[in-house]
Amino acid sequence: MKQKDAVLAAITQVVGNIEGVNVNDTITPEQRKQVHMILVEGFNAGTIDLKVAKDEKELNSYTSGLINNWLRKGKELNGGVKYMPKNPGSRAGSGDEQLKAIRLVKSTISSDDPRYADVVAAEATRMSELAAAKVTTKPINIEVLPAALQAMFKA
């Protein structure tokens, strides 16, 4: 069973009718614990898909995050609302080692430090470099343009 389906089934089993309701606002801590227990049992029994085996502590943490994720993002569980992140773009550049290092340096110095402005500038420069690298240019078939535009864009 897919994880999303398992979360939906467990919440429906514990809470009951969830149609058109934001379950996150109505679920009690006891009900949440019951849902958690059902999902952990499903993972342990192998009835719910899990790519990587986890020990008990990791599984409990993973299951809590899974429930929270689907309560926020699943339209069936959040009253049909499209999910909007609280801080969009806050993870931008998180995979870039150079930007990580710059941000680490920035977090270790005070904003009063004379080097702080240089670090902030380096961070902004690196972010713009990463954004520019994402932009891909697609080849344009000039031959399909109207004749007037073809004349303008032919080299």
Segment 97-130, tens digit of pLDDT: 999 999 999 999 999 999 999 999 999 999 888 8
Please state, in angstroms and rounded to a whole number, the distance separating the CA atoms of residues 96 and 104: 12
- Residue 49 phi/psi, 5° resolution? -60, 135
Q: Are 123 and 99 in contact (CB under 8 A)?
A: yes
> Residue 155 has what pLDDT?
62
Pair 63, 12 in one domain:
yes
Pair 62, 103 in one domain:
no
Nearest to 67 by CA among 32, 17, 20: 32
Which residues form the domain of 28? 3-73
Strands (E), 2-154: none
Report pLDDT digits (tens) over 39-95.
999 999 999 999 988 999 999 999 999 999 999 999 999 988 888 888 777 777 788
Pair 117, 67 in one domain:
no
Please state, in angstroms and rounded to a whole number, the distance separating the CA atoms of residues 3 and 83: 18
Q: Are 77 and 18 in contact (CB under 8 A)?
A: yes
Number of domains in the chain: 2
In a domain, 92, yes or no: no
> Residue 73 has what pLDDT?
92
